[in-house]
Structure 1
Amino acid sequence: MPRTNDDPRALRSRAAALAAATELLVEGGPENVTHAGVAKRAGIGRATVYRHWPDQQTLLIDALANDVQPLLTFDDSPVREQLVHQMVEMTHRLNQPSAVSVLATVIQRAERDDDARRIREGIFGKADEHFTRTLAAAVERGELREGAEEHGTDLIARIVGPLIFYRFLHGVRLDKDLVVSLVDGALAPWQPNA
């Protein structure tokens, strides 16, 4: 009897393979995600992996998508504390050895692949839209000067850009002191007494 997509055995083997592919991706980057490696790690047959993912591109894309975390999420707490906290969390992810190759793979493939573009959107997503609302709330509370909400993308770029530059191009391990310095520098022009 042929298995359907909702066959519990097929779902279990797919979940095990996807978990294995994600682990291999995190441990060694995109080139580490192979059918043979996934089968061995998941404890399933290579044919099973090929049945779920006929080629390495689809396997890699699903592994990348499985590891996607939004870059930033915001709430109504004070903006500076949110930014410091979230950027420190982001630096922990960026300091992982495979972060360079994973992020580079997503960005590079997003130029020509719709699935990779969706993954990039999952990472960077609606951060601008959410951040604009957070900045507007900060302006209403008097944390920031009026107009800050119109410059959310620029503020994020002034923080994330240097972090990516230092980590990926200079190989520097990122730390909280750098994050605090970048957050304070980006927010300085928008402080009420600036």
Structure 2
Amino acid sequence: MLAAARQLLVREGPGAITHQRVAQEAGVGRATAYRHWPQPDQLLLDAMGGADLPLFKDPSAPIRTWLHRQLRQMADELEVRAVAAMALTLAHSALWDPAIAHRQAESVRTIIERILVATRSAVASGELETEISAVDVAAMLVGPIVYRTTMQQGTVADDLIDRLLDSIGTWRD
């Protein structure tokens, strides 16, 4: 079942990780999935634990365009109410559960490392004039998208993504 959940996660994103979809993909009854994972957040967490995060992976030039696509994909996924709810549930669970906190920290570290690779590439090629810490860049790019989609339950316009990208430095064509 975990293999099926990971395949769904990679193919369709976190919104696809439901008891029903995982059971269907694995060829088992939904009750079996519920028996192993009574809480949906635990099912998603276990699926994510063995799967590579699909976002911010393998940057390609131009980096600004690539980053825009990655942020657009993240925003689109988080605009699905079930995905936004799951993200908030996992964040809340991480405050109290050391295992979830550890996995969350690993995911955050992965995103920061990938953004660092991308911004260093942009600086080295002359596409990005200034370089700031990847921790700050991740907060400046990802934070507002998470806030807009989960806290405000709104959509993320492309011009907001452009403004976020402009906030991290001067871009050259």
TM-score normalized by structure 1?
0.64
Give me the CA root mean square deviation.
3.7
- Between the aligned residues of both structures, percent identity stands at 19
**Matching of residue 26 in structure 1 with residue 8 in structure 2:** no
1:160, distance to aligned residue in structure 2 (A) = 1.6
SS at match of 1:163: helix
Find runs of 4+ consecutive structure 1 residues off by over 4 angstroms.
15-19, 37-43
Q: 1:43 to 1:151 in 2, by over 3 A?
A: closer
CA contact (8 A) 1:94 1:100 kept: yes
- In the alignment, the residues of structure 1 paired with residue 128 and residue 23 of structure 2 have an alpha-carbon distance, to the nearest angstrom, of 54
Q: How many residues align?
A: 163
1:43, distance to aligned residue in structure 2 (A) = 5.6
Equivalent residue for 2:147, pick from 152, 156, 165: 165
Aligned to 1:183: 165
Aligned to 1:138: 122
1:158, distance to aligned residue in structure 2 (A) = 1.5
- In the alignment, the residues of structure 1 paired with residue 59 and residue 23 of structure 2 have an alpha-carbon distance, to the nearest angstrom, of 42
CA contact (8 A) 2:68 2:162 kept: yes
**Structure 2 unaligned spans of 5+:** none
Aligned to 1:10: none
- In the alignment, the residues of structure 1 paired with residue 144 and residue 76 of structure 2 have an alpha-carbon distance, to the nearest angstrom, of 15
CA contact (8 A) 1:131 1:152 kept: yes
Aligned to 1:97: 81
Give 1 or 2 for the bigger CA radius of gyration: 1
**Structure 1 unaligned spans of 5+:** 1-13
Q: 1:16 to 1:38 in 2, by over 3 A?
A: farther
CA contact (8 A) 2:95 2:101 kept: yes
TM-score normalized by structure 2?
0.70
CA contact (8 A) 1:72 1:124 kept: no
Aligned to 1:152: 134
1:16, distance to aligned residue in structure 2 (A) = 9.3
Aligned to 2:42: 61
